[in-house]
Amino acid sequence: MIQELNHKDVLVARKIRSLFQVSYAVEADLLNAIDFPPLKRSLANFLKSSTGFYGYFENNELAAVAEIENKNNNTHIQSLVVDPYYFRQGIGKKLVAFVFDTYNTPTFSVETGLTNLPAIALYKKFGFIEIKQWETNHGIRKVRFEKRT
């Protein structure tokens, strides 16, 4: 079940942050990243965020979160994290499909690390096309994908 999360509530924000920590630790390993900014994100950042958060629940447990930034003509998947316990169960796919069903914009976008092959495979399955690559100041090669509807 997917539902919108009230990230302004400190208890909910803690659950979101905790899930981000375990999921992004796996991504940091995939990217061989030593300095990985998503792992430094504070609780206050979640509480003050202007983005929307949607949670996927499995047996009443928060198993995954999609963070969405919706502006005018673009819906950006800011983050899509799955608890490692729930990897390879199709939850990421369900969240991406949910984003398409929920938002009606001409363009959808997402970014990830170039060596995050599971995420790249997921986005390509949904028809996302690589737009650009760049090197971050943290030494991570990133890639941006877009899908036009």
Domain count, the chain: 1
CA separation for the pair 40, 37 (Å, rounded)? 5
User: What CATH code is carried by the domain that includes residue 55?
Assistant: 3.40.630.30
Per 3-state DSSP, what percentage of the chain is helix, strand, and coil (rounded to 5)?
Answer: 35, 35, 30
Contact in structure between 65 and 81 (CB atoms under 8 Å): yes
Containing structural domain, residue 23: 2-148
CA dihedral 18, 20, 25, 31 (to 10 degrees): -170
Express each pLDDT in 64-118 by its tens digit: 999 999 998 999 999 999 999 999 999 999 999 999 999 999 999 999 999 999 9
pLDDT at residue 128 is higher than 90: yes
> With bands split at pLDDT 50, 70 and 90, how would you rate the model's confidence at 138?
confident
Give me the chain's average pLDDT, please: 96
Relative to beta strand 74-82, strand 107-113 is parallel
Closest alpha carbon to 109 in 144, 65, 149, 64: 144
